[in-house]
Amino acid sequence: MDTDDHQSFEQSRPHSHEISIPNFVQFWLILPFYIPSVVCSLFVLYHFITVRTLRVALHNHVIIILLSINLVVQLTDMLWNLIYYCQNQALWPIPVFCTVWITVDEGLGIAITIFFAWAAIERHILIFHDRLVSTHQKTILFHYLPISTIFLYLICYISIVIIFPPCVNTYDYDHILCGSPLCYYELRLVTVWDVVVNHSVPIFLIIVGSVGLLLRIVHQKSRMRQPIRWRNYRKLTIQLLSISFVYLILHTPHTLMEFMYLCGVPEEVGKDFMSYAEFSSYYSNLLLPFICAGSIPELKTKVKHLLSWCGRSTRSVHPHTVTLPQQRRAD
């Protein structure tokens, strides 16, 4: 590999995670949202799993997978980031921990993006081509097989590229994510694959799938004039569009900058913007549980009942002053 090729590889590498905001400020920018988000994740995921009608619904399977992966990211990657912001060092300064940390941050981040893209595609199948999942065999082919294929791809990619890369990683324990990026970004093919296949194409599919779903729903509603059919699909559409909107707002700038660097734009262009965009992308993990909770009418009703019950219980335990009648004195 000559010097010019190596420089081109370096230009396409992701940039430093460090931004000009002090670590303790980043800590307090994340913490107020982190704790409520984790609680909401547990509550929503428990509701999806325990309520049979939600658990068996095909359109909820990808949402359950997204919430599960997101919860793992919250309890590991985001928690370790908060610890780093406090002590300015990796929680455990050893290579094994750094590998796990980067695997969760990079690998599960890719997983969330790809499953979002599949959710945008699958909504079209469930709404406009529901005959493709009308039988058990068709459900396996068009629902379970794509999900299994995505899992298989993620396991292979994470194992080969992140956990057992074809090069030697160098870790810096005084930087977040142990000084990521990994050494595989020095390989042009892997860099192009990561930026295009793992990030750019899924983001494009999310945009096309979400906008296309909205346009098809509006066209179908005006053409068929069946409000009942629209009400049946409204929850599926609103759920996808709300999640996609937040995810795209927070992730598209980062992905767009990565693609521009891959095309040869100097890394000095938008370097600070890239760092802030990468930090802002964590808020998609924090907001996802709240968006999912807001898209479940049954869950909102249950929360209202719980809050009203708590309010009644609080009022019922207020202390009362009891005045005892005084005994008459004996004459």
Between 242 and 202, residue with greater pLDDT: 202
The mean per-residue pLDDT over the stretch 245-254 comes to 84
The mean per-residue pLDDT over the stretch 118-145 comes to 90
Question: pLDDT-derived band of residue 318, with 50, 70 and 90 as boundaries?
Answer: low
- 94-118 pLDDT tens trace: 889 999 999 999 999 999 999 999 9
Query: DSSP assignment, residue 321?
Result: -
Q: What's the longest Cα–Cα distance across the chain?
A: 118
Please state, in angstroms and as integers, the Cα–Cα distance from residue 13 to each residue in 160, 269, 283, following that order: 18, 14, 23
Residue 251 lies in a domain: yes
Residue 176 lies in a domain: yes
Between 35 and 10, residue with greater pLDDT: 35
Check whether 8 has a pLDDT greater than 70: no
Residue 136 lies in a domain: yes
- 261-279 pLDDT tens trace: 888 888 777 777 877 888 8
User: Which pLDDT belongs to residue 10?
Assistant: 42
Residue 316 lies in a domain: no
Which residue range(s) make up the domain with 89?
23-297
Check whether 12 has a pLDDT greater than 60: no
Tokens of 145: 């097989």
Number of domains in the chain: 1
- What is the chain's mean pLDDT, rounded? 81
Closest CA to 158 of 99, 101, 76, 103: 103
Find out whether 272 and 20 touch, Cβ atoms under 8 Å.
Answer: yes
- Dist. CA 87–CA 77, nearest whole Å: 15
For 276, counting Cβ atoms within 10 Å of its Cβ (0-12 exposed, 13-18 middle, 19+ buried), the class is middle
- Dist. CA 212–CA 269, nearest whole Å: 33
Find out whether 289 and 67 touch, Cβ atoms under 8 Å.
Answer: yes
Between 68 and 218, residue with greater pLDDT: 68
Residue 15 lies in a domain: no
CATH code of 234's domain: 1.20.1070.10
> Hey, how many other C-beta atoms are within 10 angstroms of the C-beta on 247?
23
Question: pLDDT-derived band of residue 9, with 50, 70 and 90 as boundaries?
Answer: very low
User: Which pLDDT belongs to residue 310?
Assistant: 55
User: Which pLDDT belongs to residue 2?
Assistant: 44
Residue 221 lies in a domain: yes
For 319, counting Cβ atoms within 10 Å of its Cβ (0-12 exposed, 13-18 middle, 19+ buried), the class is exposed
Between 295 and 149, residue with greater pLDDT: 149
Q: Which residues contact 313 (CB under 8 A, 6 or more apart)?
A: none
User: Which pLDDT belongs to residue 148?
Assistant: 96
Find out whether 206 and 248 touch, Cβ atoms under 8 Å.
Answer: yes
User: Which pLDDT belongs to residue 116?
Assistant: 92
- 36-65 pLDDT tens trace: 999 999 999 998 898 888 888 888 899 999
User: Which pLDDT belongs to residue 20?
Assistant: 67
H or E segment and range at residue 274: helix 271-280
Find out whether 6 and 167 touch, Cβ atoms under 8 Å.
Answer: no
Check whether 300 has a pLDDT greater than 50: yes
User: Which pLDDT belongs to residue 18?
Assistant: 57
What's the helix, strand, coil split of the chain in %, to 5?
Answer: 80, 0, 20
User: Which pLDDT belongs to residue 260?
Assistant: 85
User: Which pLDDT belongs to residue 134?
Assistant: 87
The mean per-residue pLDDT over the stretch 309-317 comes to 54
- Dist. CA 12–CA 266, nearest whole Å: 9
User: Which pLDDT belongs to residue 241?
Assistant: 82
- 149-195 pLDDT tens trace: 999 999 999 998 888 887 888 888 888 888 876 777 777 888 889 88
User: Which pLDDT belongs to residue 11?
Assistant: 42
